[in-house]
Amino acid sequence: MIDTGNVWHCIAFGFLPLPGLLTRGEALAIREELERLGRERGQAPRDTAGRLDDVAAAGERVRALLLDERVYGIPAKILGHDFTYEGSDAEWHVGDTPWRGGGGVEQRRIAAIKISFFLDDLDETNGCLRIVPGGHRAVLESIDSRWVGVPDYLFPIRNRSAQAELPWGIGPQQVPHLPLPSRLGDACVLADDLPCAAYGAAGVRRELSFAFMANPVSGHQKRWVKRRNAMGSAINAPRAFAESDDPRLRKMVAPLLAMGIEPS
């Protein structure tokens, strides 16, 4: 369970490393389940890049991990006990991953985080995650209104598919950043709009992520979530959660139902 110091670390810098959150045995079991789901959906995760949505609905081990206090307690501490579950996905990355993190022109209107589990041993030579600490906005704006309207000077590296040229006279790999080497079973909390990238990648890198946002309370937050959902956003909370006997699963999707957003 994270403590108050961990929460403030995440709020201030936009990330919180959680080394060894899973044992290697637990991580291997999760990895095997995700690869099985990939094969069932016609993907070859061992060899190619790919993405699987809604894996917590289909995978028993993944769903149990979501409900594990080591995971469930994190959004409760950072976003509040009435947090909302946005979905889960598994990704297989191949090659370099350009800088990303943010909503492009439209900034996110509500604090959101994801918990990513790294399912390989990674360092700077084979594609570990790289981040720009403090590059998040939505969490900061949600707790301090002075951030609202402040120019986003990191906009050039958010959601770009081609980054051969940057306005600062440097290349993408020269952007000042912090590498986060990881071992199988490590995890990291990341603000949804924190700039992230991976360079020097070799082979396939496997990752499991759970996404959460604060409970939309204000009118503009609810309108933003509804509009994002209507445009085909990444919200993929499964209908089975709303109908589950488990009170935690029902609670996590209850704010969506309250806004008239039906689980997928």
Band (pLDDT 50/70/90 cuts) for residue 104 is: low
Nearest to 129 by CA among 145, 137, 138, 117: 117
Q: Which amino acid is located at 118 in the chain?
A: F
Closest of 230, 236, 228, 186 to residue 210, by C-alpha: 236
Decide if 264 is inside a domain: no
Strand partners, 90: 52, 208
What lies within 8 Å, CB to CB, of 62 at 6+ separation is: 30, 33, 34, 55, 56, 88, 208
d(CA 150, CA 237): 32
Whether 118 shows a pLDDT value over 90: the answer reads yes
CATH code of 193's domain:
2.60.120.620
Q: Which residue has the tokens 């991976």?
A: 198
Mean pLDDT to the nearest integer, 24-38: 95
In the predicted structure, residue 263 carries a pLDDT above the cut 80: no
- Please check whether residue 232 lies inside any domain of the structure: yes
1: DSSP letter = -
- Percent of the chain exceeding pLDDT 90 equals 53
Please answer whether residues 34 and 52 qualify as being in contact, where contact means their C-beta atoms are separated by less than 8 angstroms.
Answer: yes
What pLDDT is attached to residue 260? 81
Q: CA 215 to CA 79: how far, in whole Å?
A: 8
| Residue 263 maps to a domain | no
Q: In this structure, are residues 114 and 190 in contact, taking their beta carbons and an 8 Å threshold? A: yes
Q: Is residue 125 part of a domain?
A: yes
Q: Is residue 135 part of a domain?
A: yes
- Residue numbers of the domain that contains 137: 4-258
Query: H or E segment at 11?
Result: helix 4-13
Q: Among the listed ranges 54-63, 132-141, 151-160, 245-254, which one has the minimum average pLDDT value?
A: 151-160
For the beta sheet containing 97-100, the strands, ordered from the edge strand earlier in sequence to the opposite edge, are 97-100, 196-198, 129-131, 178-180
Looking at residue 219, what is its pLDDT? Answer: 83
Rounded CA separation 195/100 (Å): 5
Structural domain tally of the chain? 1
- The region of weakest confidence among 26-40, 60-74, 147-161 is 147-161
CA distance 184 to 259: 38
* pLDDT-derived band at 187, boundaries 50, 70, 90: very high
List 129's β-bridge partners, or say none. Answer: 180
Is the sign of the CA dihedral 22, 90, 32, 49 positive or negative? negative
Which tokens go with 240?
Answer: 């089975």
Q: With H, G, I as helix, E, B as strand and everything else as coil, classify residue 24.
A: helix
Band (pLDDT 50/70/90 cuts) for residue 202 is confident
pTM: 0.92
Q: What is the pLDDT of residue 189?
A: 98
Q: How remote is the C-alpha of 120 from its chain's centroid?
A: 17
